[in-house]
A and B are shown apart, each in its own frame.
Chain A
Amino acid sequence: MQEWASQLCENRQFGSKMTDSKYFTTTKKGEIFELKAELNSDKKEKKKEAVKKVIASMTVGKDVSALFPDVVNCMQTDNLELKKLVYLYLMNYAKSQPDMAIMAVNTFVKDCEDPNPLIRALAVRTMGCIRVDKITEYLCEPLRKCLKDEDPYVRKTAAVCVAKLHDINAQLVEDQGFLDTLKDLISDSNPMVVANAVAALSEIAESHPNSNLLDLNPQTINKLLTALNECTEWGQIFILDCLANYTPRDDRESQSICERVTPRLSHANSAVVLSAVKVLMKFMEMLPKDLDYYGTLLKKLAPPLVTLLSAEPELQYVALRNINLIVQRRPEILKHEMKVFFVKYNDPIYVKLEKLDIMIRLASQANIAQVLAELKEYATEVDVDFVRKAVRAIGRCAIKVEQSAERCVSTLLDLIQTKVNYVVQEAIVVIKDIFRKYPNKYESVIATLCENLDSLDEPEARAAMIWIVGEYAERIDNADELLESFLEGFHDESTQVQLQLLTAIVKLFLKKPTETQELVQQVLSLATQDSDNPDLRDRGYIYWRLLSTDPVAAKEVVLAEKPLISEETDLIEPTLLEELICHIGTLASVYHKPPSAFVEGSRGVQHKRLPGSAGSGESVESPDTGSAAGVSDAPPAVIPSQGDLLGDLLNLDLTPPATTGPPPPATSGMQLGAMDLLGGGLDSLLGGDLGGSSAMGAGFGAPPAAPAASFSAPVSGGLDDLFDLGGGVGMPMGTYSPPKTVWLPAMKGKGLEISGTFARRAGVIQMEMTLTNKAMSVMTDFAIQFNRNSFGLAPAGPLQVLTPLSPNQSIEVTLPLNTVGPVMKMDPLNNLQVAVKNNIDVFYFSCQYPISMLFVEDGKMERQVFLATWKDISNDNEAQFQIKDCHLSSDAASNKLQGSNIFTIAKRTVDGQDMLYQSTKLSNGIWVLAELRVQTGNPTFTVSLAQQTVWSNHCSDCAANY
């Protein structure tokens, strides 16, 4: 008993000494020296302890490289632990002492012949880790032997060694034929060797994307699938990731692979599960949807995904990022599993945010009540970011699930009542979006919103509130007071708020002109005169001019009906989604970016694509791929960009999509087109003979310099010109050409003033310019160039200014144009950016050409064709508006229009109304059809336009001005 006690005592003594921390306690004086002495000691045990001390210093980053020869001397030992320790040291310092490292080579080579497979493997493994070129030469022979070793443990270690060697010297590996040996190992009898060979090959292949190292064919796939069942969990990951790169020949092969991979879904290792999910998600694409197995597979995918969410938070995070992709691709898999995404109080914030995102994606009519109750709960949590996102999520639900909108609004109102500042602000921002989606439905809540006006301090919330006040000014009694209160600190506001305020006050003025005149003048002068911001100034000018010239038109523009906002603005673009699905479980799937966007170096990363479905009747894949195809069919230039001219003008603030989703096709495209039509139309309508048409658009960036005063000048639109009775009726006289306007004021052109216009004469488009030299010196060497534009306009010849232009001299130049230049959609469509060069400088200006000059002479359609085409065109592509104050008879109008290549195909008279059916063709081959209704004695013409593409809407509109 006593003996036992004393032993325990001793043990404790040992215990305190036995920890590795003792290796750190050396005397400060001559630490290295002391170690050196110990390393060279005769006593084995002392040697080992010394090496341990060296290693301990190494682990904390101390430099013990000075001991290199002494440590290497300890290598020749039969004590495996000592040997391993020395190897550890070698790996770390060989690079800094390459010459000395050679000393170790002999031992390595000898160890590779050792009868103990553990030692053979250890030697070849360590040698591969020594990143010294000289050593690699000696490594080749032992490695070759080890790759063919009888012991699988050695073979699998050697397989990895090939990858190491490739990293150090790729050429050497290729020259020595190691790659082929490695490929042979895929057929090895031992599954672990197969797995390591696959891992090594995959790593090597990553740096040679086109090397076709992993040549997958049905035979190798079969071998991999066999090895899959028997190798370690890590090996399974390598094999599954490799399988995912294979493209099965047909749906039957696809199914058989799926069947053999499915058991992996029950693996305890989450990485195995997710890699299996990747393979299944990819190969599923090839299965016919009516196959029973397809349904079975879908059902099998849900439980493992749910299980991943009960793992550690880090695993959950990666799983959630991937689930986010999966629910976008195949929402049916998890549609009943909403509850597992409910946020728990102690989830880390990164998990909470991801769960929230998925909850919204899964929200549907069936579960919206639950979701809303949850979201409301989250809005009272501690973390501000999370609370904000939760409030925003309520708004997204309202927009996504129409039936829930009312509930969402009342939930948001409840939240506003809490008076928690950031909650209120966030709620107001989303309510604005709800108004945009469901106009004239929930305006009763405005009063409540207004109560919180004072507490808003974030720009986004202020802007949203101002938008609401402006939009519903007629329902808010004190709208003018509210807006005025914002105006006081106008210059301190952010641009977002300033722009919004400007628009809101203009809206207010148009709705209640009598009492708000002063206010609107105040804001216009603040925006145009006291601001340095070009966007703000542009918008100020355009409103000013609109208001001063034609308040009716202003009303039509500013108070136009806005397009509804789309439901899902945050979906990942379908082609990207497809690629990401192929990368499930990888870093790409966590970042939601394709590997090419972040993987280092210029290694050409191949874009992966999901395989197409094999079933014959399966051409329609899923709605999202369908729309993707639709988008890619149309030339990109035709798609109206989301930040369209009028959208911007009216400050619709669509809360632009975070991802680059395709613009919603058909309907909203049409709406945007229609918007554009109005905007563009008004431009040319009003701006026909006003100076500096570049001042027009808020849509393009050039800051206008036109003096504000000119806006109040009397305007006579191009319309009046055209229908002016002055012209001889029935006399074909060439197309209408607007009067010249100043394109480049002398102030901006360093004395060069350019005014000009466009005309179509004898089928040739001409640019007619007057160049005036208002400077003191002579100008020479004129040249001209166009930027790419909507119709491919380009100069057909050089600019003919042959004589130098003396001061105060003017010259008329006519530049013939063709339409074969490069095409790019401009905004507005008929915008043309021009560069003119002379001996002084290069000057840039933009101007707008009348669309009518693009109407070609053979624009007369056959009657039958016209009839058929007219019927074909859907109502969506029709637009109708009126031309006022036009005192022409229908015949006269017809003749006049013919001069502009708008041809009357037919005419009929119904109830005293003349209906003219007309056609015209644009230089790029687009037909525009029109119906012109003229009531005798009524100066107002009604024009209905129809065309096959949305885009030409705009052009036709311009045409209608004539």
Chain B
Amino acid sequence: MINSLFLISHSGDIFLEKHWKSVISRSVCDYFLEAKEKAGDPENVAPVLQTPHHYLISIYRGKLFFLSVTQTEVPPLFVIEFLHRVADTFQDYFGDCSEVVIKENTVTVYELLEEMLDNGFPLATESNVLKEMIRPPTILRSVVNTLTGGSNVGGTLPTGQLSNVPWRRAGVKYTNNEAYFDVIEEIDAILDKSGTTVFAEIQGVVEACVKLTGMPDLTLSFMNPRLLDDVSFHPCVRFKRWESERVLSFIPPDGNFRLMSYHVSSQNLVAIPVYVKQNISFLETGSCGRLDITIGPKQTMGKSVENLTVTIPMPKSVLSVNLTATQGTYTFDLTTKVVLWDVGKLNPQKLPNLRGSISIQTGSPKPEENPSINIGLQIQQLAISAGLKVSRLDMYGEKYKPFKGVKYVTKAGKFQVRT
């Protein structure tokens, strides 16, 4: 199982180590740093590495490497999932998961890590349980603790730890009882030069924010649950009832959590909300090129497209761009060579257009690769998978009447247009 954890900054600085079994020298990280050097881009470091005596399994999050060391055969997915959980926990506790924040909170970080893993086996990874054991640092609590000599560490056994609902703590109390659900759908798509869909699928999630007193037992039903054939659930969801009745029945964790995620596969017809007319060309001889992009609405189901952005990573030999946008603003990052066009809201009457010239380093040949255009967008109040709709939410086990709400939003995920 997991033996040690090293936190390494993207520049290769090892700034925290934690061992759950015997201590492993940090020199083991040299193998990783070597691989990182070779990969160039930190995102391209392979997540599973083998050294003569250890296995290194790592993730890259928030410009940090979480590197775990194991000595025996372990399921690598288990380790990777756990590392992501660690990063999530830091995010949850400190509002950010960066080198600075972690350095500022080393002791809490250490306490957390000790609580999350015992002898390499995960112990408490549910945010609810952890927060009962180690309270997140807040300014107010620090003040109170300093004055009263109180402590950040819970003194009693978290109630959720061993019950059948480890994700929920007992004795939750709210004055306003509310349960909100966000249905968020992301379109992953690849369009080819002519605008034809090469591949498109939808990743959907139902994010919940539940603040209910006591032990509520909720049932969420959908208008058209048949759409969902590929789903993963939060452990709280009773799978049997889903199988037989196609309803989500669960005792919710307290606070924010992801109730379920689903997948509408590429075999179904996926609506593409916008079309992109584009032409990026480089002259065969000269040291310049042209760029011309227009975006228009396609299948938006009558809703408006907002927060439209266009990102184009240019070939490395591009020196500068001279463009004009009819709407929004554009920037060109000289080091990463990325053109970022922030369009804003899409106006179907007056389609946004970005055009102009690209200059290339003199003497360098015509770029060999075709840059791809990445689109970001948001459509409020629409689930683009053609109508996944929540029909009702029922609550059992408690007497009060909660506030309920459902929001829908469609976003572009990995949405790219080839040129």
Contact = CB atoms under 8 A, between A and B. Distances in A.
Given A61-B17, A600-B53, A318 B77 contact: yes
A203 B72 contact: yes
B418 to A, nearest CB: 6
Contact of A60 (B15, B43, B48): B15
A153 B162 contact: yes
Interface in B11-45: 15-23, 26, 39, 41, 43-44
Interface stretch (A398-406, A459-467, A580-588, A710-718): A580-588
Interface stretch (A125-133, A174-182, A723-731, A847-855): A125-133
A84 B134 CA distance: 11
Given A306-B265, A318-B80, A128 B199 contact: no
Contact of B110 (A88, A270, A370): A88
B263 A306 contact: yes
B44 A348 contact: yes
A342 B75 contact: no
B77 A59 contact: no
Interface on chain A toward B: helix, strand, loop, or mixed SS? helix
Interface stretch (A18-26, A287-295, A809-817): A18-26
A10 B147 CA distance: 13
A116 B156 CA distance: 7
Contacts of B265: 303, 306, 337, 340
Contacts of B75: 237, 241, 271, 274-275, 585-586
B106 A56 contact: yes
Interface in B116-166: 118-119, 121-122, 125-126, 137, 139-140, 142-143, 146, 149, 151-157, 161-162, 164, 166
Contacts of B292: none
B258 A268 contact: yes
B106 A268 contact: no
B386 interface: no
B157 A116 contact: yes
Contact of A317 (B18, B46, B82): B46
B294 to A, nearest CB: 21
A79 B155 CA distance: 8
Interface stretch (A159-167, A477-485, A789-797, A926-934): A159-167
- Chain A interface extent, by class: 35 or more
Contacts of B107: 20, 23, 52, 55-56, 59, 85
A585 B57 CA distance: 14
Given A79-B151, A118-B155, A314 B80 contact: yes
A304 interface: yes
Contacts of A447: none
B139 A14 contact: yes
B370 interface: yes
Interface string A141-167: 000000000011100110011011001
Nearest to A22: B104
A669 interface: no
Contact of A131 (B22, B58, B108): B22
Interface in B352-402: 368-370, 372, 374
A881 interface: no
Contact of B77 (A48, A151, A381, A585): A585
Interface residues of B, number: 105
Nearest to B71: A600
A4 interface: no
B198 interface: yes
Interface stretch (A247-255, A510-518, A590-598, A856-864): A590-598
B243 A263 contact: yes
Interface stretch (A226-234, A750-758, A778-786): A226-234
Contacts of A52: 107
Contacts of B295: none
Contact of A270 (B43, B77, B119): B77
B5 to A, nearest CB: 11
Contacts of B39: 349
A318 B76 contact: yes
A586 B73 contact: yes
A153 B157 contact: yes
Interface in A177-227: 190, 192, 196, 199-200, 203, 206
B157 A310 contact: no
Contacts of B41: 348
Interface in A304-361: 304, 306-307, 310, 312-315, 317-319, 336-337, 339-340, 342, 344-346, 348-350
Contacts of A151: 157
Interface string B296-336: 00000000000000000101000000000000000000000
Interface in A28-82: 44-45, 48, 52, 55-56, 59-61, 79-82
B142 A377 contact: no
B203 interface: yes
Nearest to B26: A61
Given A18-B139, A81-B151, A377 B48 contact: no
A342 B198 contact: yes
B46 A377 contact: no
B105 A306 contact: no
A873 interface: no
A858 B125 CA distance: 80
B176 interface: no
A282 B415 CA distance: 37
Contacts of A199: 1, 121
A266 B48 contact: no
A269 interface: yes
Contacts of A82: 151
A374 interface: yes
B272 interface: no
Select the residue from A167, A190, A270, A420 with max chain B CB neighbours within 10 A. Answer: A270
A606 interface: no
B73 A380 contact: no
A315 B199 contact: no
A313 B151 contact: no
Contacts of A18: 137, 139, 142
A310 B162 contact: no
Interface stretch (B214-222, B233-241, B273-281, B343-351): B233-241
A371 B76 CA distance: 30
Contacts of B44: 348-350
Nearest to B203: A310
B288 to A, nearest CB: 20
Given A14-B139, A60-B15, A118-B156, A586 B76 contact: yes
A238 B82 CA distance: 14
A268 B152 contact: no
Scoring A266, A275, A346 by chain B CB atoms within 10 A of each residue's CB, the highest score goes to A266
A128 B76 contact: no
Contacts of A588: 73
A580 to B, nearest CB: 13
A196 B73 contact: no
A345 B164 contact: no
A267 interface: yes
Nearest to B14: A61
A344 B190 contact: yes
Nearest to A350: B46
Contacts of B199: 339-340, 342
Contacts of B20: 129
A382 B108 CA distance: 43
Q: Which of A23, A52, A268, A585 has the most CB of B within 10 A?
A: A268
Contacts of A129: 20, 119
A163 B239 contact: no
5 contacts: A271-B78, A273-B232, A275-B75, A306-B265, A307-B230
Given A45-B149, A310-B263, 20 more contacts: A18-B139, A56-B106, A80-B151, A88-B111, A92-B19, A157-B118, A163-B119, A192-B166, A199-B1, A232-B126, A233-B235, A266-B239, A303-B263, A312-B84, A340-B266, A345-B313, A373-B198, A377-B418, A380-B369, A586-B75
Name the 10 nearest CB pairs between A and B, nearest first: A303-B230, A19-B104, A81-B153, A314-B47, A271-B77, A81-B151, A234-B122, A271-B78, A339-B266, A345-B372
